[in-house]
């Protein structure tokens, strides 16, 4: 390891670090503190910060009684849970499908899967709006051909949030699948050889070798997928604007709307800071669970 000595190297370290650190401190760290500070005030966003009026924890107390906030929180929770229970198992299955069998077309499949991740969300959400369209859309037509009555998807409060979940799963599963494949490359071949010698078949190998050895990767994917789902904004803005009947108003959409359309920056900040606390708690629980498991494995 290089040991930095002398003024020249210290000067270099400061010069190299300061551009990145200046941006991160000024535009990430300071705003986190400011979010909390603003959340303790009433503020319209477009007046100077000095004209805020102190509310203490009043904004937070209001949130607990606000139907809008509780609705957004509930929608976000449903959205995140539905995304997690579908993307994570799907990514694990697809990762194994695209890693193990020796067949042609795997590279093409990987590329196709990952392509959904690089296309602008705004552009592809617009396309999904057309796919979901009741009369002119291919989904309802295909379901009709199969003799299934197509739901109204985005225009029905019962199915709108689910439609956004399906879009999210379609968009993000490829990315998580690549992460699974990355994890699979870390499992040495001789583990499988040993399992085969012991007479383990495909399913036995999957559940006794592959999945346990992928636990770190899986935990990471759960965490990333939860964080990505919890902040969904673009498709809501493009496809539903939170409707119909507020059925797709998720937290990030509610925050942006409260601040930029309703001029309630204090309340928006209280929602934003609550979101951050939830996120830190979730990350803490997931990471602690992972550490405890690793520790338990170390002892046995």
Partner 1 sequence: MRRTARAATALALGLVILVPLFPLYWMVISALKGPEELQKAPPTWFPSHVTFSAFGEVFQAVPFGGAFANSVLIAGVSTLSVLVTSVMAGFVFAKYRFRGRDLIFWSVVATMFLPPIVTLVPLYWLVSTMGLADSYLGVMLPWLANAFGIFLMRQFIADVPDELIEAARLDGASEGRIVWQIVTPLLRPALVSLAIFAFVFYWNNFLWPLSILQSDDKFPVVLALSRLLSYSTSVQYQNVVMAGALIASVPTIVVFLLAQRVFVQSISRTGVKG
146 binds partner 1 (CB under 8 A): no
| Residue given tokens 């197509």 in the structure block | 150
* Smallest distance from partner 1 to CB 160, Å: 17
3-state SS, one letter per residue, for the chain: CCCCCHHHHHHHHHHHHHHHHHHHHHHHHHHHHHHHHHHCEECCCCCCHHHCEECCCHHHHHHHHCHHHHHHHHHHHHHHHHHHHHHHHHHHHHHHHCCCCCCCCHHHHHHHHHHHHHCCHHHHHHHHHHHHCCCCCHHHHHHHHCCCCCCCHHHCCCCHHHHHHHHHHHHHHHHHHHHHHHHHCCCCHHHHHHHHHCCCCHHHHHHHHHHHHCHHHHHHHHHHHHHHHHCCCHHHHHHHCCCCCCCCCCHHHHHHHHHHHCCCHHHHHHHHHHHHHHHHHHHHHHHHHHHHHHHHHHHC
Tell whether residue 50 is a contact of partner 1 (CB under 8 A). Answer: no
Site string for partner 1, 176-195 (x = CB under 8 A): --xx-xxx-xx---------
The token pair that represents 226 in the structure block: 């939860």
28 lies in the site for partner 1, by CB under 8 A:
yes
Q: What are phi and psi of 41, to 5 degrees?
A: -135, 165
Q: Which of 69, 99, 128, 153 binds partner 1 (CB under 8 A)?
A: 128
Q: Does 53 bind partner 1 (CB under 8 A)?
A: no
User: Of 60-68, 108-116, 203-211, 287-295, which part binds partner 1 (CB under 8 A)?
Assistant: 108-116
Q: Which residues contact 275 (CB under 8 A, 6 or more apart)?
A: 230, 251, 252, 255
Q: Which stretch binds partner 1 (CB under 8 A): 22-30, 61-69, 75-83, 285-293?
A: 22-30
Q: Does 31 bind partner 1 (CB under 8 A)?
A: yes
Q: Which of 44, 57, 144, 191 is close enough to bind partner 1 by CB under 8 A?
A: 144
Give the nearer residue to partner 1 in terms of CB position, either 37 or 207: 37
d(CA 262, CA 256): 9
Q: Which residues pair with residue 42 across a beta bridge?
A: 53
Q: Is 32 in the site for partner 1 (CB under 8 A)?
A: yes
Asked if 249 contacts 71 with a C-beta cutoff of 8 angstroms, the reply is yes
The answer to whether 60 contacts partner 1 (rule: CB under 8 A) is no
Q: Does 103 bind partner 1 (CB under 8 A)?
A: yes
Site for partner 1 in 216-275 (CB under 8 A): 217, 220, 223-224, 227, 230-231, 233-234, 237-238, 251-252, 255-256, 259-260, 265, 268-269, 272-273, 275
Asked if residue 20 binds partner 1 (CB under 8 A), the reply is yes
Q: Give 194 or 280: the residue with its C-beta nearer to partner 1.
A: 280
2 binds partner 1 (CB under 8 A): yes
In terms of CB distance, is 6 or 299 closer to partner 1? 6
Least distance (Å) between residue 34 CB and partner 1: 3
Min. distance of Cβ 300 from partner 1 in angstroms? 25
207 binds partner 1 per the rule CB under 8 A? no
Contact mark string toward partner 1, 63..102, x via CB under 8 A: -------------------------------x--xx--x-
């Amino acid at each position: 390891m290089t040991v930095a000595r002398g003024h020249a190297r210290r000067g270099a370290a400061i010069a190299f670090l300061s551009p990145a650190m200046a941006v991160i401190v000024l535009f990430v760290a300071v705003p986190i503190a400011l979010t909390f500070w603003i959340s303790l005030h009433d503020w319209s966003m477009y007046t100077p910060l000095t004209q805020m009026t102190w509310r203490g924890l009043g904004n937070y107390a209001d949130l607990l009684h606000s139907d809008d906030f509780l609705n957004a929180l509930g929608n976000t929770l449903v959205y995140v849970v539905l995304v997690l229970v579908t993307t994570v198992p799907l990514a694990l299955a697809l990762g194994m499908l695209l890693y193990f069998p020796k067949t042609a077309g795997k590279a093409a499949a990987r590329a196709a899967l990952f392509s959904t991740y690089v296309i602008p969300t705004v552009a592809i959400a617009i396309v999904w709006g057309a796919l979901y369209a009741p009369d002119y859309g291919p989904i309802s037509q295909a379901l009709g051909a199969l003799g299934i009555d197509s739901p109204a998807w985005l225009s029905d409060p019962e199915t709108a949030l689910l439609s956004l979940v399906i879009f999210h799963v379609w968009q993000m599963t490829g990315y998580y699948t690549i992460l699974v494949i990355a994890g699979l490359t870390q499992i040495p071949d001789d583990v499988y050889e040993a399992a085969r010698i012991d007479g383990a078949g495909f399913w036995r190998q999957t559940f006794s070798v592959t999945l346990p050895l992928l636990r770190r990767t899986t935990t990471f994917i759960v965490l990333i997928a939860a964080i990505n789902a919890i902040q969904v904004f673009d498709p809501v803005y493009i496809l539903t604007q939170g409707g119909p009947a507020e059925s797709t108003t998720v937290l990030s959409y509610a925050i942006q709307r409260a601040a930029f359309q309703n001029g309630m920056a204090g309340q928006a900040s209280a929602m934003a800071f609550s979101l951050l606390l939830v996120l830190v708690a979730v990350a803490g629980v997931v990471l602690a669970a992972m550490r405890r498991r690793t520790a338990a494995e170390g002892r046995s």
